[in-house]
Structure 1
Amino acid sequence: MAPPTGSAATSAPRGVLVPLALAQFICSFAGSNMNVMINDISADLDTTVQGVQVAITIFLLVMAALMIPGGKLTDRYGRRRCFQAGLLIYGIGALLSAAAPGLGILILGNSILEGVGTALLIPPVYILTTLLFTETASRARAFGVIMAMGGIGAAAGPLIGGLITTALSWRAAFLFQALVVLCIAVLGRRVEDPLPPDPTRPFDVMGAVLSAVGLTLVVLGIQLADNDIRLMVATIAFGAVVLACFVGHIRARERAGREPLIATRMFTDRVANLGLVTQLAQWLLLMGTSFVVAAYLQVVRGYNAVETGVIFTAATLGLLTTSLAAARLARRHPQRTLIRTGFLVGILGVAILLTLADRSLSPWAFAPGLLLIGLGLGLMLTPSVTVVQSSFGEDEQGEISGLSRSASNLGSSLGTAVAGTILVANLTGHAYADAMVTLAGVGLAGFLAATFLPHRVIADNASGPGAR
């Protein structure tokens, strides 16, 4: 069944954009709001800063590891059904986190259940947006709204979480998440799936296990750097071996004429691969900066949750400004230009955080750098998603959406893991500076990847997904 075309394609979906955008907002919010609760959670649950970092990283890692299987399940069970299941699991996880008596239950509720719920929620958001908004301009606007809400959720997470934590408690922040999920469930009743599910579609269980285990080992290996270098190397190496087995497995299934978890052709499109690299770098930069600055302000400067959150308002304003202008910018400038400019502005923001914030006692010394990072990320989030999603046809949106969101969430989990590990290890005695220099290097890598994108991407895909 083809998606609607003509005026119906651009007008009917407008009513469903709100729950889809809110779903992206709350999932991004969950990944960053705990950054300002580090002291409160560690004191209340009798744990450490590293313990809270582990909970945050596991949440982001579960999302990354399960996003590809989550995208694949949408083909078998339908986008709407997976969306609703994700809301239910996420809501249960939020309520369990709010009542957590210890770190273990918090990890179960927030890191595991909310992570699984997000992996079921997010692929339908991007698949439905791609299928329902068939015109280039309307799709750019829709992705602009969704990516703006995602970026705002990540950037405003510290502010909203800080306000709730200071006014009530950190547990109330999870009740806030449950309330938003309830609102999405009510608004989401109008969401219709433009393509019927295919219950006969096979699901590659072994591929799902291998991909999830491999990604988990690689990220957890990074976190072991401050404990045992040999164990870190061994864990990362084992993860690489598992991922190599995953690649061999999906190739073997294709040769046998069986459908793999993700087709190898998803990795052969040069434009999509470059877009995926930029997505990973963007979210690594955003989440890494969020964790480093939030931890520095609370642990070193002694600011409370709301003071820390207010400082992050600058990043939120920057993201909001450029993300909401995504459609207009896409009409005037090539995707490559927007992505490259975004990385340059973000790197400049990191440089300012590195040079000014560490020399000034004023908390507002962080504002210019955070503002630039927000502006830069808002410039490039939507173009990167559009580049990747528009590289494949309608029947491949489940796979590429899962892969795209997996890359973004892997970047988020790596950002927290890498930045947190550098802060905890403090090998040179300048942990904050080391972390920020590393993040600037990530931004440079993203800029270089964007340089190899074609000058015009949308023009090549103007007729819709899959047009080459």
Structure 2
Amino acid sequence: MAETVARTERAGHGRVLAALALAQFICSFAGSNMNVMINDISRDLDTTVQGVQVAITVFLLVMAALMIPGGKLTDRYGRKRCFLTGLVVYAAGALLSAASPGLGALILGNSILEGVGTALLIPPVYILTTLLYPDMTSRARAFGVIMALGGIGAAAGPLIGGLITTGISWRAAFVFQALVIAVIVMLGRRIDDPLPPDPTRSFDTAGAVLSAAGLVLVVMGILAADNNIWLMIALLVLGALVLWWFVRSVRAKEASGQEPLLSLTLFRNRTSNLGLVTQNVQWLMLLGSSFTVAAYLQVVRHYDAIQTGVVFTAATLGLLVTSLSAERLAKRRPQRTLIMAGFVVCIVGVAVLIALVAAYSTAWAFVPGLLLIGLGLGVMLTPSVNVVQSSFPEEQQGEISGLSRSVSNLGSSFGTAIAGTILVSGLTKGAYAAAMAALAVTGLGGLAAAALLPRGTGAGPATTPPPHHRP
């Protein structure tokens, strides 16, 4: 009887993990699959490469700007309800994108609705995983599956999107997203929320507006770099001032005993802070390199969508191999060591990519570098998440999950914005190399942050305590 109950619980956890992992897959897929549709969308909607770049960046930006409020809402309305609501909003955006007659409708469907849906559904993925898997080893296995599908979604997005675009049309890629969402909804109905929602929890609306506005202004400033340097400076300064205003409002609310959108105590954990930096840089490198290589292949080398997607298979395989080894690696090596090793491999991969593409005109020149980038990212994505999520007790999981995902998606936005800004200034080998070099330099910053993590961080299954339970 006990064995039957245990098998039933494992099967239930398996279905829940499948729903959570598929959710991360489709959101990451949405962030990269449009990279191979640049030419098709530009022609069909009578827009430019820069117009498509704006749509991609705004999607990533909306996710980043709303992820903190999305995480906070899980405490008030429950993780399952936010998860399912986000899926429905996302599906509506995907279907609108599929039918869009112009760039404006595409931005509304893909960038806004899918972005809002993602901000609602992704924080519950990480909160539920942390709560359902209390020890380091099982949590590493679960996060390994989630991050593997997330990384594969980002890396294989160009291939899957290329196959669909070439075989049917770019619009069918959005229908594909809606179909996957339907499957996730069916699986997600079986989720049991470990914590009951607390309708009495307050929501800091002013803080949500200020944090979102500040992040939007900062990324828009980066996007403006190729058009007007003074506009860029003005937007960056204004964004910094709004974020400073947000911090001031948080301090005032905490001093008066009110509950702010984001407690500043989250930033007093040095290990978590460094882990957040590594997350940001990882996704910056992943989405930045994906956009750069995809744009170069299509605009400079005139590859079609499916040819571009095939080239990215190397990165997908690398991510798959190392991400699915997360549990075994977590048992053998400290999280700090894995994160550092991942950055080193990624940076070497970028250097190889630049060197071989400059020397050879064949598509095979992209394979070694992309494979190394995929291997490096797969090694470190899971440890970075594990380090951050495991640094806080159960009652702070909503806040830290929203902050963690916001930081990661902000990295994705930065990667696409920075690389895109360099590329559109002149789509040549020189611009391609400059964009990739900028990503490598950022990777060195991530490596430095990883090196500052406490030695032995997360070493083995017993060193990081599970989240505390409420009395």
2: CA distance, partners of 1:427 / 1:128: 43
Identical residues among aligned pairs (%): 70
Structure 1 residue aligned with 2:430: 430
Root-mean-square deviation (CA, aligned residues, Å) is 1.6
Give the aligned residue type for 1:464: P
2: CA distance, partners of 1:165 / 1:372: 27
Give the aligned residue type for 1:127: I
2: CA distance, partners of 1:414 / 1:77: 31
Structure 2 residue aligned with 1:3: none
Q: Map 1:123-142; keep pairs closer than 5 Å.
A: 123-142=123-142
Matched, 1:464 2:466: yes
Give the aligned residue type for 1:212: A
Post-superposition CA distance 1:322-349 (Å, at most 9, x none): 0000000000000111000000000011
* Deviation at residue 462 of structure 1 after TM alignment: 3.1
* Deviation at residue 425 of structure 1 after TM alignment: 1.9
Post-superposition CA distance 1:255-274 (Å, at most 9, x none): 01000001000111000000
**2:359 counterpart SS class:** coil
1: CA distance, partners of 2:8 / 2:350: 44
Contact kept? 2:210, 2:243, Cα under 8 Å: yes
Structure 1 residue aligned with 2:21: 21
Note closer, same or farther for the CA distance 1:365–1:427 as it changes in structure 2 (3 Å cut).
Answer: closer
Q: Map 1:151-170; keep pairs closer than 5 Å.
A: 151-170=151-170
Note closer, same or farther for the CA distance 1:11–1:322 as it changes in structure 2 (3 Å cut).
Answer: same
**1:177 counterpart SS class:** helix
Post-superposition CA distance 1:289-332 (Å, at most 9, x none): 00000000000000000000000000000000000000000000
Contact kept? 2:271, 2:388, Cα under 8 Å: yes
* Deviation at residue 357 of structure 1 after TM alignment: 1.1
Post-superposition CA distance 1:206-235 (Å, at most 9, x none): 000000000000001000011100010000
2: CA distance, partners of 1:338 / 1:161: 31
Structure 1 residue aligned with 2:104: 104
Q: TM-score, normalised by structure 1?
A: 0.97
1: CA distance, partners of 2:250 / 2:103: 37
2: CA distance, partners of 1:10 / 1:464: 20
Q: Map 1:233-248; keep pairs closer than 5 Å.
A: 233-248=233-248
**1:202 counterpart SS class:** coil
Post-superposition CA distance 1:337-367 (Å, at most 9, x none): 1000000000011001111012211011101
Give the aligned residue type for 1:393: P
Give the aligned residue type for 2:81: R
Contact kept? 2:390, 2:465, Cα under 8 Å: no
Structure 2 unaligned segments of length 5 or more: list them: 1-5
Post-superposition CA distance 1:352-391 (Å, at most 9, x none): 1111012211011101000000000000000000000000
Contact kept? 2:358, 2:429, Cα under 8 Å: no
Structure 2 residue aligned with 1:196: 196
Structure 2 residue aligned with 1:207: 207
* Deviation at residue 189 of structure 1 after TM alignment: 1.1
Matched, 1:177 2:177: yes
Structure 1 residue aligned with 2:49: 49
2: CA distance, partners of 1:466 / 1:76: 19
Q: TM-score, normalised by structure 2?
A: 0.96
**1:190 counterpart SS class:** coil
* Deviation at residue 465 of structure 1 after TM alignment: 2.5
